[in-house]
């Protein structure tokens, strides 16, 4: 038997035991075709298995720097080799009727280039978070999608997770009163050099990569609103040689129009994974808060214990297919991705100016 490469082995492992769901009775609507752009860790470990579970979408192509890797994916998912593209041949996607959506899973600073190329090929786009590394790039992505009449959504998987849906419902219905105090954050200890610690490709440090989850959760708890002001400070680096041009740890406060405040932290040196929101009549706490599964959620009324589907990403991708079919704006739209980039900009600006309060206008 042919020896599997490391990439093929990882893909085989990720797909093990993931059967297609049984077909429902009656004619199912035709699935939309998706192409993954970037076949790294997240595409292999999370999106490939999710695309074996999606009901409305199937993987029909890839965009990759490695043709050999593309061939392994073509074999694993049963699509033709003509549907393997390079980053420099994305314009040819325009001729491929099998592919409706491109899912951009490359390093952050490349999301604009790949999103814009997909949009000009006439494909709807999911861009991974963060949407880009600047508001100007978000604007360019939005413009390209508008001009080409394609939809844009951001890979905010937790917006579809049942516990976070419940957080949004609580914020809307006010069971615990308005959430006036929030806290938490996300951190992990980076041990190997990678693009995430290079400003050119990542746009920033853990704030772009991990802090964005806490920022998203805070906006959910605030009923979908953006904060009106930010204060932030970067902590001294413990490994300055490792984090030469990005922050290692940053803390920030978000102030909302109703007086609510959230204080958060993110780092590439630590193990924080928590989100708490306190209302006038109760509280909710997620710990762990931001993982692909196994979230633990307690409230002042007891644990939530909600049933969760096997893949957050399958739900996220299927919802985008629904938006395309019904011609709706995605609930995780490009506008939301841009909003978060405006907030991230304000956090960096405040930290750079010694913690000055920065007003946020989205």
36 binds ligand NAD (CB under 6 A): no
**Does residue 123 belong to the site contacting ligand NAD (CB under 6 A)?**
no
Q: Of the ranges 40-48, 139-147, 184-192, 220-228, which one interacts with ligand NAD (CB under 6 A)? A: 40-48
Give the nearer residue to ligand NAD in terms of CB position, either 321 or 358.
321
Rule CB under 6 A: say whether 188 interacts with ligand NAD.
Answer: no
Residue 63 contacts ligand NAD per CB under 6 A: no
Asked if 105 is part of the footprint of ligand NAD (rule: CB under 6 A), the reply reads: yes
Pairing of strands 261-267, 179-187: parallel
Shortest distance (Å) from residue 163 CB to ligand NAD: 15
Options 83, 96, 108, 187; binder of ligand NAD; rule CB under 6 A = 108
265 touches ligand NAD by CB under 6 A? no
Range 74-83 contact pairs with CB under 8 angstroms and sequence separation of 24 or more: 76/8, 76/11, 76/12, 76/15, 76/48, 77/51, 83/35
Does 151 engage in binding with ligand NAD (CB under 6 A)? no
Select from 100-108, 247-255, 257-265, 327-335 the region that touches ligand NAD (CB under 6 A): 100-108
| Out of 21, 41, 86, 177, the residue judged to bind ligand NAD by CB under 6 A | 41
Count of residues that interact with ligand NAD, criterion CB under 6 A = 19
Q: Which of 157, 274, 338, 339 binds ligand NAD (CB under 6 A)?
A: 157
Query: Of the ranges 34-42, 221-229, 302-310, 351-359, which one interacts with ligand NAD (CB under 6 A)?
Result: 34-42
One residue of 12, 18, 40, 296 binding ligand NAD per CB under 6 A: 40
3-state secondary structure the chain: CCCCCHHHHHHHHHHCCCCCCCCCCCCCCCCEEEEEECCCHHHHHHHHHHCCCCCCEEEEEEECCCHHHHHHHHHHHCCCHHHEECHHHHHHHHHCCCCCEEEECCCHHHHHHHHHHHHHCCCEEEECCCCCCCHHHHHHHHHHHHHCCCCEEECCHHHHCHHHHHHHHHHHHCCCCCEEEEEEEEECCCCCCCHHHCHHHHCCCHHHHHHHHHHHHHHHHCCCCCCCEEEEEECCCCCCCCCCCCCCEEEEEEECCCCCEEEEEEECCCCCEEEEEEECCCEEEECCCCCCCCCCEEECCEECCCCCCCCHHHHHHHHHHHHHHCCCCCCCEHHHHHHHHHHHHHHHHHHHCCCCCEECCC
- Name which of 121 and 186 has its Cβ closer to ligand NAD: 186
User: Among 39, 99, 217, 344, which residue interacts with ligand NAD (rule: CB under 6 A)?
Assistant: 39
Q: Does 100 bind ligand NAD (CB under 6 A)?
A: no
Closest CA to 15 of 47, 61, 49, 41: 49
Which residue is nearest to ligand NAD, using beta carbons?
A: 40
| Among positions 33, 49, 70, 155, the unique one binding ligand NAD when judged by CB under 6 A | 155
Q: Contact 341/138 with Cβ under 8 angstroms? A: yes
Closer to ligand NAD by CB, 40 or 174: give it.
Answer: 40
Contact call for residue 72 and ligand NAD (CB under 6 A): no
Among 4, 9, 20, 65, binds ligand NAD (CB under 6 A): 65
Which residue is it, tokens 């549907």?
A: 83
Among 72, 83, 96, 106, binds ligand NAD (CB under 6 A): 106
Residues 198-227 that bind ligand NAD (CB under 6 A): 201, 209
Binding interface with ligand NAD (CB under 6 A): 38-43, 65, 105-108, 110, 128-129, 155, 157, 195, 201, 209
């Amino acid at each position: 038997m042919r020896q599997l490469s490391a990439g093929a082995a990882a893909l085989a492992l990720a797909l093990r035991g993931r059967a297609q769901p049984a077909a429902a009775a009656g004619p199912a609507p035709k699935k939309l075709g998706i192409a993954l752009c970037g076949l790294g860790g997240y595409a292999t470990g999370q999106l490939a298995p999710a695309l074996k579970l999606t009901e409305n979408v199937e993987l029909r192509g890839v965009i990759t720097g490695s043709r050999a890797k593309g061939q392994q994916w073509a074999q694993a998912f049963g699509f033709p080799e003509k549907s393997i593209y390079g980053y420099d041949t994305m314009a040819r996607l325009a001729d491929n009727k099998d592919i409706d959506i491109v899912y951009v899973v490359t390093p952050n600073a490349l999301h604009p280039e790949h999103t814009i190329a997909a949009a000009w090929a006439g494909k709807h786009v999911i861009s991974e978070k963060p949407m880009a590394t600047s508001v100007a790039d978000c604007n360019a992505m939005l413009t390209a999608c508008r001009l080409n009449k394609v939809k844009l959504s951001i890979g905010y998987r937790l917006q579809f997770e049942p516990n976070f849906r419940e957080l949004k419902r609580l914020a809307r219905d006010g069971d615990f009163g308005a959430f006036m105090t929030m806290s938490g954050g996300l951190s992990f200890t980076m041990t190997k050099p990678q693009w995430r610690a290079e400003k050119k490709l990542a746009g920033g440090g853990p704030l772009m990569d991990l802090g964005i989850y806490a920022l998203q959760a805070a906006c959910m708890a605030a009923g979908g609103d953006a904060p009106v002001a930010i204060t932030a400070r970067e902590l001294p680096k413990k490994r300055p040689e490792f984090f030469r041009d990005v922050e290692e740890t940053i803390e920030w406060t978000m102030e909302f129009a109703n007086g609510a405040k959230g204080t958060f932290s993110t780092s590439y040196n630590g193990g924080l994974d928590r989100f708490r929101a306190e209302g006038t009549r109760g509280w909710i706490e997620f710990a762990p808060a931001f993982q692909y599964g196994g979230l633990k959620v307690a409230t002042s009324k007891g644990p939530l214990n909600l049933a969760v589907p096997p893949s957050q990403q399958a739900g996220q991708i299927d919802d985008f297919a629904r938006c395309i079919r019904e011609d709706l704006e995605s609930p995780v739209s490009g506008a939301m991705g841009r909003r978060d980039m405006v907030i991230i900009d304000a956090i960096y600006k405040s930290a750079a100016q010694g913690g000055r309060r920065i007003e946020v206008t989205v």
